[in-house]
Amino acid sequence: MAEPILKVTNLIAAYGPIIVIKGIDFDAFEGEIVGIVGPNGAGKTTFLEALVGNIEVREGEIHFLNKRIDGLPVMKRRKMGMMLMPQENYIFPYMPVKRNLQVAGFLNTDEEKKELLEFVYRLFPVLAEREKQIANTLSGGERKMLSVGMSIMANAKVILIDEPSIGLAPKIVTALFENLKTIKEETGKTLILAEQNVKILNIADRIFGLEAGEIRFCEKTEDLDEAVVKELYMGE
Amino acid sequence: MISSGLINGLIMGGVLSLPVLGVAVVYGITGVPNFAIGLIGVFGGFTTWYFLSTGLITAILLGIAVCFPIGFFLQRVLLTPLGRKKSADATLFFLITCSFGFIVEGGIRSLFPRATINIALPRLGAIHIGNVSADGFKFVALFVAVGTLIAIRILEQHTQAGRSLQATSQNLKLATLMGINTDLVFSLAHGVGCSLAAVGAIFWGSLYTLDMGTGWHLGFVGFIIAVIGGIGNIWGGLISALLMGMVMSFAGYLLGGVWQSVILYGIVILVLIVSPRGIMGSERAL
């Protein structure tokens, strides 16, 4: 079996004296979509922030591309190929759409930038139409598309997205998730999505259930009892 | 009288706009209001004055250049590490930067032989606009301010460094997640801001006199004008400086010099009550 691109062992992370992540084991393989589901306050955002280095890890290890990274700063993890799109404030609000994408892709070569921009515009034609528009004048759905576009431009090997569906109309969520699936299929990137929306079950290869800072289960999506997951972890 | 008031106001605004740009760059990007920036600029002014005998251009460049590392390392060594502490707030930065201002003041007093100077830069002769005539050199300050602003805009639009500055000022967390070295961006911005303050102090020292009081005055008035323009909004800073120059000029003509400050600070209070993010808007409020 292939080695995971990302492997987490017994991770403990805290905000000051409050321990939020209580010894998590987690892995993700190249080219898969991993869903992390759980109710509000389960620790999904904290876990993602700890993976990219925004929150100090108290104990445990994070290995990325077979290298231990839990002592590295955010910038180094980003340069190695891991990136998080946060749940809120995920765009540069006073820049035009195209410049948001350019900033996100600044570590790439000129050729990569061109190819990635074409891919983003093919995936989200509305961004091409509005490339000169100031980002904070876009609708909520368009902003999410921009943020996903930025994560593509960043050309990271592992893209972590914190609740991409939050605040969006159901129809837009379906379209957005289809696009995430296309990204996986066409680029082979690993996507790790923290979600509370049941539609994650339609695109994820595996699901981790997180509750009170601990992993309750890890299953292939097809093996899950959807009804139980919906009731326990998604407020359905 | 009206044309005279307009032109004088424009000139005063032009001179004031240079330290305002320094404040706007520093606070707009780092989020730290540096109340020592005027004193740092004055240090640059004194350096230019001291080295004038070595040649005009060399002295001016030295005065501007010496302020860059002061701002850079002030941010790198003191303000960035402090900003990471949860207890860091605006009051702490006010106290720290004011204290640093007093250290710079002591440095100026101990390094230079005089406490009040005038920087003798070459004059351009009088320029006549209608029935108003003014020292042509005073217009240079305005052109330098506008030129600096355009240069900053070009930098932002067309270079990666400029985009990184813009990204950091708009969304620090996302810029960090994108892999931008935001600590370096902060230090560079602070260095550039202090160099701009030096340009302002050199002009001020040539048109009037330069002493320690000027340093505090330029720092505080620069900050106030930047707030009215919409702090961090450099176009807002320039427009605000020109408007405030006009206000001070007309208040002086119509009511007498003693009323200039009363009118100016009255408008400051009014603007902050009605629009805390300034007349041109800003990502940051006080």
Residues of chain B in Cβ contact (below 8 Å) with chain A: 160, 163-164, 166-167, 170-171, 173-181, 283
Q: What is the DSSP letter of A134?
A: B
Residue A229 falls within a domain, yes or no?
yes
The answer to whether residue A104 is domain-embedded is no
Nearest CA-CA distance, residue A129 and chain B, Å: 20
Specify the pLDDT at position B285.
44
Mean pLDDT, all residues of chain B? 86
In a domain, B248, yes or no: yes
Query: Looking at CA atoms only, how far is residue A21 from chain B in angstroms?
Result: 21
Q: Which of B93-97, B157-161, B170-174 has the lowest mean pLDDT?
A: B157-161
Q: pLDDT value at position A97?
A: 96
On whether residue A179 sits in a domain, the answer given is no
Put simply, the answer to whether A103 touches B181 (Cβ < 8 Å) is: no
> Using 50, 70 and 90 to split pLDDT, how confident is the model at B286?
very low
Disruptive mutation site among B80, B86, B177 for chain A (greatest number of A CBs within 10 Å): B177
Residue B106 is assigned to a structural domain of this protein: yes
Alpha helices, DSSP H only, in chain B?
Answer: 2-30, 37-50, 56-73, 80-83, 90-111, 136-158, 160-170, 172-177, 182-207, 212-229, 234-255, 259-274
Q: Is B170 inside any structural domain?
A: yes
pLDDT in tens, B181-232: 999 999 999 999 999 999 989 988 988 899 999 999 888 888 888 888 887 6
**Domain assignment present for A224:** yes
Q: Which among B164, B170, B181 is the nearest to A93, CB-wise?
A: B170
Per the CB < 8 Å rule, is B174 touching A94? no
CATH number, domain of B176, equals 1.10.3470
Within a domain: A164: no
Q: Which of B202, B222, B187 is nearest to B44 (CA)?
A: B202
Distance separating alpha carbons of residues B146 and B151, to the nearest angstrom: 9
CB of A87 less than 8 A from some CB of B:
no
Q: What is the structure's pLDDT at B243?
A: 85
Q: Considering only residues B143 and A133, tell me which one the structure prediction assigns the higher pLDDT.
A: A133
B1 pLDDT higher than 70:
no
Please state the rounded mean pLDDT for residues B116-142.
78
Q: Please give the pLDDT value at position A85.
A: 93
How far, in Å, CA of B56 to CA of B34, rounded? Answer: 29
Supply the pLDDT for residue B111.
Answer: 95
Partner-chain contact B163 A102, CB within 8 Å: yes
Closest by Cα among A74, A86, A104 to A161: A86
What is the mean pLDDT of the segment spanning B148-176?
87
Interchain CB distance below 8 Å, B180 and A106: yes
Residue A214 is part of which domain span? 1-80+190-236
Q: pLDDT tens digit string along A81-129?
A: 999 999 888 899 988 999 999 999 999 999 999 999 999 999 999 999 9
Choose the mutation target among B174, B185, B233, B277 for the interface with A, i.e. most A CBs under 10 Å: B174
pLDDT for res A20: 92
B176 interaction partners in chain A (CB closer than 8 Å): 54, 74-75
Q: Closest Cα of chain A to B22: distance in Å?
A: 21
Instruction: Give residues with Cβ within 8 angstroms of B253, minimum separation 6.
Output: B1, B4, B5
Å between B157 CA and nearest CA of chain A: 9
- Angstroms from A169 CA to nearest CA on chain B: 24
Residue of B142, B99, B110, B106 whose CA lies nearest to B124: B142
Q: Is residue A34 part of a domain?
A: yes
State the average pLDDT over residues A192-202: 90
Would you state the pLDDT for residue A235?
A: 60
Does any domain span residue B280? no
pLDDT tens column, B20-36: 788 878 887 888 888 99
Strand partners, B125: none
Which of A52, A54, A99 comes nearest B163 by C-beta? A99
How confident is the model over A176-199, as a mean pLDDT?
92
**Does residue A127 lie within any of the structural domains?**
no
- Would residue B219 count as lying in a domain? yes
**Closest-CA residue to A70 (of A85, A58, A81, A87):** A58
Whole-angstrom distance, CA of residue A73 vs CA of residue B14: 43
Mean pLDDT (whole number) for B93-118: 94
What whole-number distance in Å separates Cα of residue A208 and Cα of residue A221? 10
Percent with pLDDT over 70 in chain A: 97
Residue with tokens 């002030």: B74
Instruction: Tell me how many domains chain A contains.
Output: 1
Q: What is the pLDDT of residue B283?
A: 54
Size of interface A-B (CB pairs under 8 A): 64
Counting residues of chain B whose pLDDT is more than 70, the rounded percentage is 97
Confidence label for B145 from pLDDT (cuts 50, 70 and 90): confident
Q: Which residues of A touch B180 (CB under 8 A)?
A: 75, 103, 106
Taking contacts as CB-CB distances below 8 angstroms, the residues of chain A near B163 are 99, 102-103, 106
Q: Does B164 sit within 8 Å of A106, measured CB to CB?
A: yes
Give the integer Cα–Cα distance in Å for A188 and A70.
Answer: 24
Q: Which of A61-75, A126-140, B157-171 has the lowest mean pLDDT?
A: B157-171
Q: Quick one: tokens of A141?
A: 């759905």
Mark yes or no for CB contact A92/B176 under 8 Å: no
pLDDT of residue A191: 96
Chain B's closest residue to A154, CA to CA, is B178
Query: Which domain covers residue B42, as residue numbers?
Result: 2-116+133-274
Res B152: pLDDT: 82
Contact A90 B283 (CB under 8 A): no
- CA dist A47 and A69 (Å) reads 15
Q: Is the pLDDT of residue B126 over 90?
A: no
A175 in contact with B at a CB cutoff of 8 Å? Answer: no
Report the pLDDT value the prediction gives residue A37, as an integer from 0 to 100.
Answer: 93
Residues 44-73 of A with CB under 8 A from B: 52, 54
The reported pLDDT for the residue numbered B42 is: 96
Nearest to B200 by CA among B64, B66, B96, B49: B64
Q: Which of B173, B178, B181 sits opposite A103 (nearest CB)?
A: B178
Residue B112, CB-side half-sphere exposure with 13 Å CA sphere: 23
Residue B277 has pLDDT above 90, yes or no: no
pTM of the model: 0.84
CATH number at residue A227: 3.40.50.300
Q: Return the bridge partners of A12, or none.
A: A22, A59
Give domain status of residue A145, yes or no: no
Rg of chain A over Cα atoms, rounded to whole angstroms, equals 17
Tell me the C-alpha distance between B262 and B282, whole Å.
25
- Give the number of other CB atoms < 10 A from CB of residue B244: 25
Contacts of B166 in chain A (CB under 8 A): 92, 95, 99, 103
Task: Examine residue B125 and state whether it is found in any structural domain, yes or no.
Answer: no
Q: For chain A, give the mean pLDDT.
A: 91
Given a cut of 90, whether residue A169 has pLDDT beyond it is no
Q: How far apart are the first and last CA of chain B?
A: 37
Q: Which range (A51-55, A58-62, B112-116, B134-138) has the least confidence?
A: B134-138
Rounded distance between C-alpha atoms, residue B230 and residue A66, angstroms: 48
Contacts of A14 in chain B (CB under 8 A): none
Number of domains in chain B: 1
Query: Confidence band (pLDDT; 50, 70, 90) for B251?
Result: confident
Q: Is B226 domain-assigned?
A: yes
The answer, yes or no, to whether residue B284 has pLDDT greater than 70, is no
Task: Identify whether the C-beta of residue A204 lies closer than 8 Å to the C-beta of residue A172.
Answer: no
Q: What is the mean pLDDT of residues B158-165?
A: 87
A90 has a chain B CB within 8 A of its CB: yes
β partners of residue B79: none
